[in-house]
Structure 1
Amino acid sequence: MAVLLSVFACTVKASDRPNVIIVYTDDQGFGDCSALNPDSKFKTPHLDRLAEQGVLFTNAHSSDSVCTPSRYGLLTGRYAWRTTLKRGVMNAEGKCLIKDHQQTIASFLRDQGYATAMVGKWHLGMDFPGTGPQTRDWTKPVQDMPLDKGFDYFFGIPASLNYGVLAWFEGRHAKVPPTLFTAKKPNQRHVDYRIKPPYQDTPEQTRKALGKRGMEVAPDFVDNQCLTRFTDKTIEWIRSHQQNDQDKPFFVYLPLTSPHYPVCPLPKYHGQGECGGYGEFMIETDDHLGRLMAYLDQAGLADDTIVCVTSDNGPENSWKQRIKDFGHRSNLHFRDGKRSVYEGGHRVPMIIRWPAGIQSPGRRCDALVGQIDLFATLADLLGQPIDNDQAPDSQSFASALSDPAAKHQRLPLINHGIKGRFSVTEGDWKLVFPHSGSGIELYQLANDPSETKDVAEANPRRVDTLRQKATRIVVDGRTTQGPRLSNDTGYWPDLTWISETQYADGR
């Protein structure tokens, strides 16, 4: 029987519509995965197993170096700087950055017959009932949120834990409404903060107790429960789907809250690894991924389920302290971290496993790819076209999964920093544009991945070529071939290398 099962496992064929799970970690640096960092001070065995069974991408990039715009780019295949969000991130409350008519990976896959679910952190804007704590009516539904953007099911939180309106939302309602108030509390295991009881009845009471005006929180909300609840709900939803509609493929978007602040590992992880609370939190994150993978194995779903694990940007600023205290480099050898336009801000771990569809698993792919390309890649694997006005910056890298010998050539890839600075990468060359007193910079990443030597002065033609290509991507409203599209706004000052006339004329 064991032999027969082994033979069967080797001959499993990929279906036309595989299940898809995207696990999106939060502020996980390139060096926070032991498969990518042999000197890591903690181990991530489940991430490593995914890499052994799939493809480990060593040159993958989030579309921005902070949270909201990266999530927008992943889900829509469009750069967030094309929207009204030119810098920074959104609050928990506000008009959703994804417009009603805009396709997402979820709505696209739902149109292909998929059941779709999102479990975790949204951070793209929600319309809550009322205009603030004094006018809330939590019996009314939340609008302009995941259920309006292609997802059949939602369980999660609106944004990062420091933005408030913290409750366990399921569907359009909070399971327990956020009627109390709190602020950041000291964290004994890290340099950041905690969000945990006791909570106060009014913002003024929170200010008196903690020195800061309170943000909305539910009585039952505790920060260190996020990872457990999100993993449990994901498994619960998949199990229910399999029981009720197993002939229908599924898509799950699972954006976790770790290792973003607050770094709050459960007590069972205390003392594990050699990197303090941060290492403990990454070990816990990896364990929850292992729980999900174990369920897929148990349910017989692993072979024909695409699992992609990646991070929304590079590591938080505490990466510097970890080098001093523990000798651990969350950004590996790359320059800077979260918020930066340099490699440490947006070069992130990305692993894709699909036993039935990936040829020669256990390999590394050094080709330049972006998370923004996941939309087109999934459409390509399904053999379904994307409308010309949708996912305009997404380019398929499906060939890198199906053909180990494929030479994937990425169109110029734009990256973006929290203060609006741009860069463009093509092949081994990266051009960083002038901004806020800093001049233009050129790096040859193959020889200088740490971006230590600016070679712009010695390569004026390369600078000019990359500048022209980046200009075209901006003014055309797209990276891929197709009719010119409009950005959502007129010219803005961060386009330091493009004049207002060029922007208006489209040249």
Structure 2
Amino acid sequence: MTTDRHARRNAQPNIVLILADDMGWGDLGCYGASAISTPRMDAVASAGVRFTDAHSSSAVCSPSRYSILTGRYAWRSPMKQHVLHSYAPAIIETSRPTIASELQASGYSTGVFGKWHLGLDWTRTDGTRVTAFGEHADLDILDRPDQYPVEDIDHAQPFAGGPCDLGFDRFFGIAGSLNMPPSAFLSQDRTVGVPTLPRDIYMAGQNPGLKVEGWRDDEADLRFTSEAVDWMKECAGEEEPFFLFLSTAAPHRPCVPPARFHGLSQAGMRGDAVCLVDWMVGEIDDTLAELGIADDTIVIITSDNGAPMIFPEDGDTEHHRPNGPYRGQKGDIWDGGHREPLIVRWPAGLEAGLVRDDLICLSDLYPTILAAAGLSPSSGAAEDAVDIFARLDSSDPRPRGLPVVHHSMGGAFALRIDQYKVNFCTESGRGFSARIRDDGGANRAIFSASSREDGTVYNAKHPIGRIYDIDADPQETTDLWDQRPDLAAQAHRMLCEITAGADSGFTCGIGPSVAR
């Protein structure tokens, strides 16, 4: 590293975190994709550091987003499995430090644009608020298979517990995914307009609800990008650095990129939606260059979980493997469910062109981003995260120090210790691989007759699981559970220590029977 780079690292950089929705490890050209062109993300990778063994803390979006913003596993929160629906209450306490609140307290301007999906405390028609905390907690609606009754929500009133209560100065986005109501933009603490019209149900999986007049799903990411660009330009005229969190709706289904992106990939509409994400990265990067601040800005690109492979818009998943060579898909305990692309670029602070094979959890972004800004997490914050800042400009392999806990959509656990992965379940952990693929486009969250239980989740009656050597067997095909009872017992003890004091759902106290 040059002396000039050392000096420039002493100043607080701008920070841009771009989080795609359901973008798989194998969706980017720099990770081997040939059916999808991603020149803007590939350019960021070639000018920065690319990680090959980075993982979201969960194989679905709400819990993995929780971990990124708080540096802790989501099973420590009121949410124990699956994802939130869009009227679920906020699962981050307003008193809890987040990346945004820590940066805001040190003088950063902070803004989030796009999908939120961490719950909001909506105002009910009787004037009370939906909440996940305190004596009036609505924990029963955190994991409902149906949507919260829309007639109970007063959309004309503000919500609480959102981004502006958690350290963000500016919020413009949507409550959940595009397949969830309400179909309305959110600005600061309320909807932009009042949704009163029935949503368009143009494909299976579109949940019913309300929309505002003139709403179009295919324009959402365009609007998020333009709002983010305008905000960056406002911030550039100020002396304070900024933290931009751009959370894309694409390529999560319904996969409706604008018409100009249709056919840009050879991987179906979902592939075209990845091209939309690449365009969004380009718009942000071009703005940084236009403002003359690209060198002094850290750009981080990643995704919240693995890609699905069961829906018609996913295209031919044998022709294009959205999760690369890894087994499984979104929701699964297998690596395809949670191994993520992770790219970091900082021209003023990092060498270009590094590829790192270190084990990383996306919860690590919390202390790492703070370290880049010359800060440390508040006392007691980010307990499941490791600062990897020192590794960003070195090719030397370094252990993470803490094992990584993986979590499936169905609440199953796995523990990654160095090259070994101990799955405390059999099969996918009740992830998307357990669902029926219906070429007619149905999106039914049911299990096939041949895998109705999708294996067994580890419990007191069934202390069984799977062990894989990920270095030698990245596709998780050769089970070592019977050959390595010592490792099974070690992993069980470690996971019990990690989950101690939390209502995690993991079974402890079984004793040596785990080792058979």
TM over 0.5: yes
Structure 2 contact 235–241 (Cα < 8 Å) conserved: no
* Inter-partner Cα distance in structure 1 for 2:84 and 2:6: 47
User: What secondary structure is seen at the aligned counterpart in 1 of 2:27?
Assistant: coil
Pick the aligned partner of 1:19 from 5, 14, 31.
Answer: 14
- The Cα of 1:501 is off from its aligned counterpart by 10
- Post-superposition offset of 1:442: 0.6
Structure 2 residue aligned with 1:316, among 294, 308, 322? Answer: 308
Matched, 1:329 2:346: no
Worse-superposed segment, 121-130 or 68-77: 121-130
Q: Which residue of 1 aligns with 2:436?
A: none
Tell me whether 1:450 sits opposite 2:475 in the alignment: yes
Select 1:372's aligned residue among 359, 363, 371: 363
Equivalence map 1:27-38=2 (5 Å): 27-37=22-32
2:138 is matched with none
**Coordinate RMSD, CA, aligned:** 2.4
Structure 1, unaligned runs of 5 or more: 1-6, 187-191, 196-211, 476-485, 503-507
What's the TM-score, normalizing by structure 2? 0.83
**One-letter amino acid of the counterpart of residue 23, structure 2:** Q
Alpha carbons of 1:466 and 1:138: their partners in 2 closer, same or farther (altered >3 Å)? Answer: closer
Measure the CA separation in 2 of the matches of 1:173 and 1:48.
37
Paired residues of 1:119 and 1:156 also in contact (CA < 8 A):
yes
What TM-score do the two structures reach when normalised by structure 1? 0.85
- Residues 352-501 of structure 1: matches in 2 within 5 Å? 352-358=344-350, 360-405=351-396, 407-434=398-425, 437=456, 439-475=464-500, 486-487=501-502, 489=503, 494-496=505-507, 498-499=508-509
One-letter amino acid of the structure 1 residue matched with residue 506 of structure 2: L
Q: CA deviation at 1:287?
A: 1.1
Match of 2:192 in 1: 175
Partner Cα distance (2:93, 2:181) in 1? 23
CA contact (8 A) 1:118 1:253 kept: yes
CA contact under 8 A between 1:162 and 1:184: conserved in structure 2?
Answer: no
Residue in 2 aligned with 1:52? 46
- Do the aligned partners of residues 151 and 325 (structure 1) sit closer, same or farther apart at CA in structure 2, a change above 3 Å counting? closer
Q: Which moved more, 1:326-335 or 1:124-133?
A: 124-133
In the TM superposition, residue 387 of structure 1 has moved relative to its aligned partner by 2.8
Between the aligned partners of 2:87 and 2:359, the Cα distance in structure 1 is 35
CA pair 156-123 structure 1, distance change in 2 beyond 3 A: same
Deviations 1:270-307 (A, max 9, x none): 22222222222111211121111011011011111111
Residues 225-263 of structure 1, C-alpha deviations (whole Å, 9 max, x = no match): 1111111010001111222x2x10111111111110011
1:384 offset after TM fit, Å?
2.4
Distance 1:501 1:10 in 2: 52
Contact 1:323–1:329 (8 Å) recurs in 2: no
- The aligned counterpart of 1:286 is 278
Q: How far apart, CA to CA, are the structure 2 residues paired with 1:275 and 1:342? A: 23
CA distance in 1, matches of 2:494, 2:397: 24
Q: Secondary structure at the match of 1:184?
A: coil
Of 162, 165, 173, 1:156 maps to 173
Change (3 A) 1:306 1:461: same
Give the equivalent residue in structure 1 for 2:441. none
Match of 1:129 among 120, 123, 126: 123
Partner of 2:434: none
Deviation at 1:17, TM superposition (A): 1.2
Cα drift, residue 93 of structure 1: 1.5
Partners in 1 of 2:311 and 2:348 — Cα distance?
A: 37
- 1:269-280 mapped onto 2 (5 Å cutoff): 269-280=261-272
Pairing of 1:212-227 with structure 2 (within 5 A): 214-227=208-221
Tell me if structure 2 keeps the 8 A contact 1:96–1:145: yes
Measured after TM superposition, the shift of residue 322 of structure 1 is 5.4
Judged with a 3 Å threshold, the aligned counterparts in structure 2 of structure 1 residues 241 and 217 are, in CA distance, closer, same or farther, namely: same
Distance 2:315 2:159 in 1: 43
The answer to whether the 8 Å contact 2:355/2:395 transfers is no
Match of 1:67 among 56, 61, 69: 61
Give the deviation of 1:96 after TM superposition. 0.7
Supply the AA of the counterpart residue of 1:218.
V
Structure 2 distance, partners of 1:447, 1:80, is 30
Tell me the SS of whatever aligns to 2:497: helix
Does the 8 Å contact 1:275/1:326 carry over to 2? Answer: no
Q: For the residues of structure 2 that align with 1:183 and 1:457, how far apart are their CA atoms? A: 52
SS in 2 for 1:237: helix
For residue 381 of structure 1, report the CA deviation from its aligned partner.
Answer: 2.5
Contact 2:357 2:397 in 1 (8 A): no
What amino acid maps onto 1:499 in structure 2?
G
* In structure 2, distance between residues paired with 1:12 and 1:264: 45
User: How many aligned positions are there?
Assistant: 454
Letter of the aligned partner of 2:218 in structure 1? N
Report which stretch shifted further, 373-382 or 147-156: 373-382
Distance 1:34 1:231, change over 3 A: same
Match of 1:344 among 325, 336, 340: 336
Instruction: Please say if 1:236 is aligned against 2:236.
Output: no
Structure 2 match to 1:253:
245
Stretch deviating more after TM superposition (288-297 or 125-134)? 125-134
Aligned residue in 1 for 2:137 = none
Bigger shift: 311-320 or 247-256? 311-320
Q: What's 1:165 paired with?
A: 182
What is the CA–CA distance in structure 1 between the aligned matches of 2:189 and 2:281, rounded to whole Å?
Answer: 26
Q: Quote the Cα distance in structure 2 between the aligned partners of 1:442 and 1:260.
A: 31
User: Aligned pair in 2 of structure 1 residues 237, 391: CA closer, same or farther (>3 Å)?
Assistant: same
Please list the CA deviations of residues 197-247 of structure 1 after superposition, one character each: whole Å capped at 9, or x if unmatched. xxxxxxxxxxxxxxx8x402111221111111111010001111222x2x1
Contact 1:127–1:143 (8 Å) recurs in 2: yes
Instruction: Look up the equivalent residue of 2:197 and give its one-letter code.
Output: L
State the 1:437 CA deviation.
Answer: 2.3
CA distance in 1, matches of 2:492, 2:391: 28
* CA spacing shift, 1:297–1:90, aligned 2, 3 Å: same
- Amino acid in the other structure paired with 2:178: L
Aligned equivalents of 1:463, 1:133: Cα separation in 2: 46
SS in 2 for 1:373: helix
Against the structure 1 CA distance between its residues 130 and 40, is the aligned structure 2 distance closer, same or farther, given a 3 Å change threshold?
A: same
Question: Secondary structure of the residue that 1:434 maps to in structure 2?
Answer: coil
> Which structure 2 residue ranges, 5 or more long, are not aligned?
126-148, 427-454, 458-463
For 2:447, the equivalent position in structure 1 comes to none
Residue equivalent to 1:97: 91
Change (3 A) 1:151 1:471: same
In structure 1, what is the Cα distance between the partners aligned to 2:176 and 2:229? 22
Distance, in Å, in 2 between the alignment partners of 1:416 and 1:442 is 15
Q: Could you say what secondary structure the match of 1:156 adopts?
A: strand
Whole-angstrom CA distance in 2 between matches of 1:387 and 1:9: 30
Taking only the aligned residue pairs, the percentage that are identical comes to 32
Distance 1:432 1:500 in 2: 16
1:311 Cα deviation after fit:
0.4
Alpha-carbon distance in 1 for matches of 2:201, 2:383:
40
With 454-463 and 418-427 compared, the bigger mean Cα shift is at 454-463
Give 1:121 deviation, angstroms.
Answer: 0.6
